[in-house]
């Protein structure tokens, strides 16, 4: 069974400092990994994805994520946090098998709080 874990309910960081939001996953086949951000009372916005290729993936708003197969992790990072980055972040996975219908399994979410 597929699963995603985000071990931190909340991450606090000062503006201008680097940030990391952690995610580990479990799938039976090759993982397709995603990060989404959710602002209050809003939908989920796609940030970035890993399908194949380079382990370091660059996405929207200066975010990037590093795929680590041996550690089954896909941590979200940003070199310099902004107050406007404060939101709820979801890691998601789907099995990359060709028969998979594409449904996403989400982690529990991590609230990022960036303080001025």
Partner 1 sequence: AAGVIQSPRHLIKEKRETATLKCYPIPRHDTVYWYQQGPGQDPQFLISFYEKMQSDKGSIPDRFSAQQFSDYHSELNMSSLELGDSALYFCASSRGRPAYEQYFGPGTRLTVT
Which of residues 42 and 115 has its CB atom nearest to partner 1 in the complex? 42
Instruction: List contacts with partner 1 (CB under 8 A).
Output: 32, 34, 36, 41-46, 49, 51, 90, 96, 98, 100-109
In angstroms, what is the minimal distance from the CB of 77 to partner 1? Answer: 19
**Residues 92, 108 contacting (CB under 8 angstroms):** no
User: ∠37-55-114 over CA atoms, to 5°?
Assistant: 35
3-state DSSP call for residue 83? helix
In angstroms, what is the minimal distance from the CB of 16 to partner 1? Answer: 29
């Amino acid at each position: 069974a597929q699963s995603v874990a985000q071990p931190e309910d909340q991450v606090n960081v000062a503006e201008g400092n680097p940030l990391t939001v952690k995610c580990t996953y479990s799938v039976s086949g090759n993982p397709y990994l995603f990060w989404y951000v959710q602002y209050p009372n809003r939908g989920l916005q796609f940030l970035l994805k890993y399908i194949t290729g380079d382990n370091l993936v660059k996405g929207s708003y200066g975010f990037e994520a590093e795929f680590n197969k041996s550690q089954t992790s896909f941590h979200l990072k940003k070199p310099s946090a902004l107050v406007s980055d404060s939101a709820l972040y979801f890691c998601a996975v789907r099995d990359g098998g060709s028969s998979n219908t594409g449904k996403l399994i989400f982690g529990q979410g991590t609230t990022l709080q960036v303080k001025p």
